[in-house]
Structures are given as C-alpha cells and as structure tokens.
Structure 1
Amino acid sequence: MSIQTKPRSIGKRHRLAKPELLAPAGNLEKLKFAVHYGADAVYIGGQKYGLRSNADNFSFAEMKEGVEFAKQYGAKVFVATNIYAHNEDIAGLEQYLRALEEAGIAAIIAADPIIIETAQRVAPKLEVHLSTQQSTLNWQAVKFWKEEGLPRVVLARETSIEDIAQIKANVDIEIEAFIHGAMCSSFSGRCVLSNHFTDRDSNRGGCSQSCRWKYDIFEEDMPMFSSEEDKFTMGSKDLCMLEYIPDLIDVGVDSFKIEGRMKSLHYVATVVNAYRQAIDSYMADPEHYELKQEWLDDIHKAANRPLNTGFFYDTPGAEDHIYEPEEKQAPYDFAGVVLSYDAESGLAVVQQRNHFKPGHEVEFFGPHGTFFKQIVNEIADEAGNPLDAARHPLQHIVIKTEQPVKPMDMMRKRVRP
C-alpha cells in the first residue's frame, strides 16, 4: 500500500521558526500520550458545544489536569466549541467559556459567530481559532476573520497548496490545516445524511458517518446487487501528508492538525510520533532532508483506511473514495503500555490492551528512541504466577524484554504479514 505520489510544486518561501504539531485527544489518557509522543498542542472536547458528542470528552477537572500535564512539556490545550448553535444552545454559553478560561485552556475552536463574539467579550484570555466548519477557502475570507480579531484560521479540508500560498501572501495570520486523518465525503461539515437517516445532527456533534454504511441501488424496487455481492459505500480515503512535510512548511502552514478524537490511543501516539520525527528532521537540516521509510511504515501500522493527499494537489476523483468493502489496513494490534522497567532483571510491567501470549511477535516503540521487535516468551502476573496468555483487559503483565523500555512506551502485536 502506498500513498499517491505528487511532485514538489512549491518554491522556497519564508520559513517558519517551527510549525505546531496539533493532535487530537478524545480523553485524558490520550491527551497525555499525544503530548508525551511529541504534540505541541492538543485539541479536546468539553461536555458542551463540540462536534464529537460521542467521544469521552472532558470535565473541567480533567481539563485542568490536562493543562497542567501539557505545561510540563511546553504544550497547549485547545477546546473545540465548533457547533452551529440553535437558540436552546445559547443558555449557559458565557459561564462555559469563562470556565474554560479559568481552567487554563489556551484557545477555543469555533465556527458560530455568537460563540466567537461571546468568547471575545467574556473570556478575553482565550484565543479564538476559526473552525474548519466555516469552510474557509480564500484569502479575502481569511482577511475578514483577521479583522474580526481572530489570530488563526483552520482552513477547509478542500483548500489546495496553491490556495494556502495565496492566503499567506495576502494575510498575516496563523493558518492551521488538517494534514492527516479522515476526510468528509461531503463538503466538510455540511453533510445532512446523518440528519435524514438517523435524526443525528452532524453539525451539533452527532454525525453517524452515513457515508461509511453499505448501500444498494434499486431499480423499480429491485436491488441491483445480488445477495452474494458486496454492497457499496461512499466513504473517502484518509488523508496523509507525511511525504510532503517540506511543501507544507515551505508554503507557510503554521499548525499541522491530525484528525481523530475518536481514534485509539495507539493511533494517536503512532501518528504523532511519525510526524514529530519528520518535522524535526526537516527543520534541523532542510537541504539534506530525506523521508524515512520507517515513518511511513509506522503510519501504515495504525492506518484504518487507504491513504491519499486529499485536496492539496488536485481534486479527489473516484480513485480517492472507497466503494467496496475495506480491507484491514493495519497489520498490528495495540497490545499494551509499558508501566515500568527494571534494568537489572530486564523485566517490564505492561498493562494489557489486547490479547497476546507467548509465541506472538510484538514490537515495542516510544518517542525517545525505543524501537525493536521480539517474540514473547514467558509471561506472568505481578505476583509471579505464570500465564498462558494475557487475556484480561488492563491486567498488569510481567514480560522480559530484549532491550530496555521506558514508561509510556507501547507494545503492538503483529496480526498478519
């Protein structure tokens, strides 16, 4: 599986001091791992006003804990308040925004003008970043929002590299762009299939991802596919711009945003780690930068769908959508998290996240150089009792590792060639 190859079409432009790597965090644990694995900032959802109502989302106490953890790494926390509000949503908005400010949140991501205006009025320490839900594509619209006092615009996913170049040439403002994750089959954020099919409003946080369902076509009440044939979907392939980090930096993107507040802990850590290495490598020596295959390999170990480059270089066509049942992309399953390691004995305590047993090939990885494969030999519980398998969720498993590991390193299990 490979990502579409696009030619480098962007000339050298003013370089940023360093672009921000912005990661999703569906809960407090994911926030901590995203930051630990290299995110400069994370975006989360609170209990109200966000577009991922099915995520775990954060209480104010969890926000405060997340902010304090992020500060230890010099990272920031943003909160999505990106719904389009109905009349009944407005009650309590001022109190909610003030509470975000008091929790130490650095910025909100908003689309509705009333949320933007209210935040500027009652919580002035909160930056307001314009959400991608506004579908901003051109420099004059970006200029409008700058004049409204916003320091950053999150561009629509449909924006091209050349569009970004024109925006940066005409408006002195921070630009945030999605560079990895799920794409929308509709114009981003404007789909109403979920509303019609399930009465779940995609613009109020309830999208049922109707584009990923299986469909049939009917002619005079007769299905065109036989019962033995696979039904079709109309979902888009996922976005991946790891191969084109130099283009994104050269054109002036200020914040590289990864989609996925509903994605797994393993997905968040793996993707953040790969982009962190690529960005740091390019910024350290742009003239001699080389994309490493191991970064791409890591992305594929967590990928849920085939990958492409979205709208950055051209308009996606039929080849950029998934009309047939998807093959499982990732050859690895998330198996565990390292809790502790004893250098003298070589024994690690691993918190189990998926079934594994002696004889399985596993891979350890982490943000500070940990990377190796080994076959699982004997395993035991923390009392030293031998186990034939790690089958209980979150059980603490003692395993001998062939190389040193660190707390918060991850273990994944190979499930297919």
Structure 2
Amino acid sequence: MHDLRFIRDNPGEFDRGLARRGLEPLSADVLALDARRRAAQTSMQEMQARRNEASKEIGAAKRQGQGAAGLVAEVATLKERLPEVEAEEKALGEQLEALLAGVPNLPAEDVPDGPDETANVEIRRWGTPRESGLREHFDLGEALGLMDFQAAAKLSGARFTVLKGALARLERALGDFMLDIHTAEFGYQEVSPPLLVRDEAMFGTAQLPKFRDDQFQVSSGHWLIPTAEVPLTNLVADEILDAEALPLRFTARTPCFRAEAGAAGRDTRGMIRQHQFYKVEMVSVTAPDQSAAEHERMTEAAETVLRRLGLAYRTVVLCTGDMGFASRKTYDIEVWLPGQGAYREISSCSNCGDFQARRMKARFRGRGEKATQFVHTLNGSGTAVGRALIAVMETYQEADGSIAVPDALRPYMNGMERISVHG
C-alpha cells in the first residue's frame, strides 16, 4: 500500500515510478478521490460541531424561557443528514483503499528500467555449468522408478508429482539442509506456520486482491498459502515492535500451493511448475535503514545453499518490467539445469520497503520515542526445494542413469552416495 501523504506531496514522483513499471499516471485519480473524501470528512466534522453547539443553544434558550423551535428543527435536520455524510465518507475511503490496493510498489532508484526479463541485469555467476543436452529430471526420475507423474495425475490431475524412495528422501534432505544453513549460519528463527490463512493475511502481503485467481481457496474461506512469506511476514501484522528487536528473521519449510492460472502451456512436463511444491522461505523485518544491507545478506544466504551443493548459478537484478507487485527491488538466483541447457529461477529475494507493512499496519518505535514508523519487510526463497532437487538430479547424473548424492547431503541421506535402480 502506498503512503497517501507521499502522493499528495509528490504526485509527479509517484507517476514517474508507475511509468517506470509501464503504467499510466494515477496521481490525479488518487488525489481527486482523496479530495472528495476529505471534503466529506470536513463537512461531517462541521455538522457534528454545529449540532453540539445548537444543542447547547437549545438548553440555554429553555433556561431563559425562550422558544427554540428553529434550533430544534436544525438539530433534527443535522441528525438526519449526518448518517448520509458518514456513509459517503466511508464509501469514498473504501474506494480510495481499493484503488491504492491495486497499485504496485514503486521501484527503487537503482533498479534497471526495462519492459520484461530481457532487460534484467546479471551481476555475478558462480560455478562451471555442466554440459547441456543431458537427460532431464523427469526422464531420470521415471527411469529410476522413483518419480511417478501418472500416479499423481490419477490422484490429483496435472501439475502434481509422486516421489518415492530415495528421491522422496532427497527432497526431504534438501529442505533439512537449507534450514540448517539459515538457522545455524544466518540467524533465522525456524517457524512452523499454518498453511491456511485468512483474507487479511493474503491482503497484507499483496496476494489479494490482485492475484486472487492464482490462489487456492477452501470451503471455509481460508486460503492455502502460495508461499510461507504470507504467514511469516504477517507474524508482525498490527504490531508495534521495539527498534532494539530488529531485525527479525524467520524461516520455514512448507508446502506451497499455486493455481498457476497464467501458466497454461508452460513447463507442462516435470516438476518445474507445480500446483503443490516445497519451499524454504526466508523473511526479514527491519528498520528502514537496515533493509538494503539485509537484502544483500538474504541473497547471500540463498546463494550459500547452491554453492554448498555445487550447483552453478547466476544472480540477476530484475528490471522494472519483470519485478513482482510488492517489490521495490528483487534479485533472482537462477540455477543451471543441464537437461534444459538453461538457467532457471530457483530463488527470488525481494526488498518490499514499507509497502507490505502499510497493508499490515506493522510498525516499530525507538527507545524513548512516541512516534512510530513502518517497518521494512523482505522475503526470499532459500530455496525452492523442488527446483533444487531437479538441479541436483540433472547436475549429478551419471551415464548409467544413476544420480550421485552431493557430499553436503550425504549426512542427511544416512551416508547414501548414489541413487540408482538397484538402490
């Protein structure tokens, strides 16, 4: 959500930020609606004041034995009119909130401009990519008898997978490995959050209302989380935190659920784009002057996972046309997949500034201060477990179709060194 005061004071800057995202100017519409609401508020306050004043005049007139019929009629008119003005003010406020709720965050000044992913800027690479043209993960997994798409389709339809045996264990090992790095080395607190959340939580992190069609909703009205970002970030919703407690860092491994409404025809084979998948999420809550450094630190945590696994990757900063709705700056980490011969996103680390905090009413207060400020929130994949599984399978495949277990994961696999048909 945007700061209305900022838009009043800097309409041109607000529109410039939208233009960088390829959007039309909106400040005039926002300010016109804001002016109407403020006029209704002023009218309401004046009417309330006049009603109170007239009521006092009626009392004074009666004490002096004077007639007050005109004043009584005026008060009656004001009492009749006030609810109408109050309803108008409320309706205008709701319209203004709905308008602002659909406006994305403004990009940071150092974000590159561009219309789409072709304008993203690579900032570093790590590792030597294995030669392309090798077998893809779904061919490897099916040949091993440990990845069953047919059974998943029978159970649930398209975009689901059944993992068995050593591959199911490898998926679990990857999640445990990631959590251990983030908690032991980067100071994130592990959390086991609910997988079902209310409308308010989805609104707070900006999945609602704009991305309603990308979500799964159950009969109770709850939403299945698309990422643990939703419950982890909302842990501070409606809170006033002590400045000394910041930054807060949370991590969780959860199933994630996405309708993939806009992904028709994309990545239809394999595990790249699923309705259900596991992901290790990182969330940080900081003071404004900490968030830029925290963004770099979070990205380093995600990159550390890939380096320990020996997976080649590159890190890019997303341009204005490719970044997410709530983000002001995003780093994507793309892992090399030899089977596809391409880098594919495995982590996205975003600094949202105070955009989500305003929606959640999450604030902090310094020692001895009366005023509060909105916190900054950040989120990042640390990483997508399913995509890490794909990268490990394709990178560590052998000529006979077996998969070598990376050294870093062997302690989590009871010492297993290789996944093969023969075990």
Q: Given the two structures, how large is their TM-score scaled by the length of structure 1? A: 0.24
TM-score (normalised: structure 2): 0.23
Higher-RCO chain (CA-CA 8 Å, sequence separation at least 6): 2
Larger Rg, first or second structure (1 or 2): 2
Q: Larger % of helix: which?
A: 2
